[in-house]
Structure 1
Amino acid sequence: MTTEFLQLDEGRMAFEQAGTGGLPLVFLHGFACNRSFFAAQTAHFGARRRVVAIDFLGHGESDTPEIEYRLPRFAADAARLVEHLGLGEVVVVGHSMGGAVALELAATRPELVRAAVSLDTTMVSSAERTNRVLPNMLQALSGPHYLMAARAFAGSLVLPSDGPEVKRHVEAVMSSPPRHVLTELTKALMAWNGPDALARLRRPMLYVGSQNPLTSQAAILAASPWVRYAQAAGSGHFLTLVVPEQVNLMLERWLAVLPSIEAEPQ
């Protein structure tokens, strides 16, 4: 697919699109990743419906301005693209941080979102993550060895069973953004209030966890009646790379049952 750009106030945001017809899918990548992490999904679904995959500002082929990166900003940028392309209602699919952006978009702009999907996202942050893990990560990314810290963070999300090729790939990609982007993204994770966004949600959302899900079934179902929960088998955090067929089948099923569940929460 050909790279296109949307001019935002802060810089150009890269995206690609394919396919026609059907309920459009909009794919949102994770922390320090890029839209290529959804290549298997855009190829699969682009054969039968319209698909769009975004590189958030600071990532991939988008500009990397020295601005305050926050998840509501990413959601607003995605909304601008949906409106720019005249997509109407969409199903927004996000991985990791992108799943939080998908939730934020669904909660703040429900007129644009028919439903959402979150792939292994931290929706409800633990006290340990909030008070120790993320502040330590910010300190490491702010120091002279930030590339080593970025690679270590990426590698920690990969299971041995995912394979060395996946580990090398995600370590390389997630250490590629400039340091100011990495530090701002970490601040964004620290600032985002997942339970608040879940409380505002009024659109169906499917949560798909990895083998070691970043949000437990009990935590996310307690936070919102609009969420359904599923779990992939035998995959670390990077579901779209490790088990793309499972992800595609889950998305297919979600689209198929959506008309029967979207009227009311469970």
Structure 2
Amino acid sequence: MQTTVLMLHSSLSSGRQWQGLKLALKADYQVLNPDLLGYGSNTASYPRPMQLADEASQLWPLLEGHPAASVILIGHSFGGAVALHMARTRPELFKAVLLFEPVAFHLFKTTEPALYQQVQQLSQQMLNVSSKDAAALFIDYWQGEGYFHHLPDVMQQKLTTQVGKVAADFEALSGEPATFTDYATAIHCPVLLLSGEQSQLSAQRLATMLAGVLPCVEFQTVKTGHMGPVTDAELVNAVLLEFIQRLMVTKPSHY
């Protein structure tokens, strides 16, 4: 039975962010790195307000007919939150879940209200400015002040064109009807949870809180920021590949 690897990208990105990892895995696995709604070449419509289930609805057909424990699920940022939703919804399908700072901000509503408000404020600010300024706000929040304006013009234009989807992503991230207990109860496969040492507190805090409740989790920090899978792909991919290799050889004893 061939194992499938499904890789989900962050907001304002595309499936191409995983191209290096795909090349490293494709000889031994069926590798899927789709564009999420509104990104890359995916122009399919989505409802407003959007839910993570709406994002997942276009992904489930990719896994149709797959037997239990035959899929390794990888997700980064918004894609990590979608991955958590999918793993909670159909836990029997997944052999392992690998996450780089899943931004499941709904978990902050009652546990970290100040951080939840910070994220909501960013979302509201983006709605009240031009598309280019909204893209700058979003990129600079994750990468540091002024990062957007140092990007090549063609990259700025691409991000500006697709930034409208980010508002829908925030809706889905905020409105997901799940708690830490829901994830911990449903997800019992091995989980690798990564966090960037230079990332925003909101993303770091979510990662450590999830690591504290998931029953079969391995937590690691990586010397990068929240966008590490893009800006430091070789570093992050090496950690992901090492975990997958260990997973396929033998289950670590603490699982």
Partner of 1:247: 236
Asked if 2 retains the 8 angstrom alpha-carbon contact of 1:56 and 1:74, the reply is yes
Partner of 1:15: none
Deviation at 1:203, TM superposition (A): 1.8
Deviation at 1:78, TM superposition (A): 1.7
In structure 2, relative to structure 1, the CA distance for the partners of 1:164 and 1:142 (3 Å cut) is closer
Partner of 1:223: 213
For residues 117-128 of structure 1, the aligned pairs below 5 Å read 117-123=98-104, 124-125=107-108, 126-128=112-114
Give the alignment's TM-score, normalised by structure 2: 0.80
2:126 to 130, 141, 146: 141
Q: How many residues align?
A: 240
In structure 2, C-alpha distance between the alignment counterparts of 1:222 and 1:72, rounded to whole Å: 25
In structure 1, C-alpha distance between the alignment counterparts of 2:162 and 2:187, rounded to whole Å: 31
Partner of 1:16: none
Tell me which amino acid in the other structure corresponds to 2:20. A
Task: Establish whether residue 104 from structure 1 lines up as the match of residue 85 from structure 2.
Answer: yes
Taking only the aligned residue pairs, the percentage that are identical comes to: 20
Deviation at 1:172, TM superposition (A): 4.8
1:212 to 198, 217, 222: 198
Tell me which amino acid in the other structure corresponds to 1:101. V
* Partner-residue secondary structure (3-state), 1:175: helix
Encode CA deviations 1:121-180: one digit per residue, 9 max, x unaligned.
2345331232x22332332232242431222211221259x998779787554432263x
Asked if 2 retains the 8 angstrom alpha-carbon contact of 1:71 and 1:188, the reply is yes
In structure 2, relative to structure 1, the CA distance for the partners of 1:154 and 1:197 (3 Å cut) is farther
In structure 2, relative to structure 1, the CA distance for the partners of 1:150 and 1:112 (3 Å cut) is same
Encode CA deviations 1:101-136: one digit per residue, 9 max, x unaligned.
111111111232111111122345331232x22332
Task: Establish whether residue 67 from structure 1 lines up as the match of residue 47 from structure 2.
Answer: yes
Give the alignment's TM-score, normalised by structure 1: 0.77
In structure 2, C-alpha distance between the alignment counterparts of 1:201 and 1:148, rounded to whole Å: 38
More moved, 105-114 vs 94-103: 105-114
2:31 to 32, 51, 75: 51
In structure 2, relative to structure 1, the CA distance for the partners of 1:247 and 1:218 (3 Å cut) is closer
Structure 1 unaligned residues grouped into runs of 5+? 1-20
Deviation at 1:53, TM superposition (A): 0.5
Task: Establish whether residue 129 from structure 1 lines up as the match of residue 115 from structure 2.
Answer: yes
Tell me which amino acid in the other structure corresponds to 1:215. Q
Encode CA deviations 1:223-245: one digit per residue, 9 max, x unaligned.
22222101112x21112222222
1:79 to 57, 60, 65: 60
- What is the alpha-carbon root mean square deviation over aligned residues? 3.0
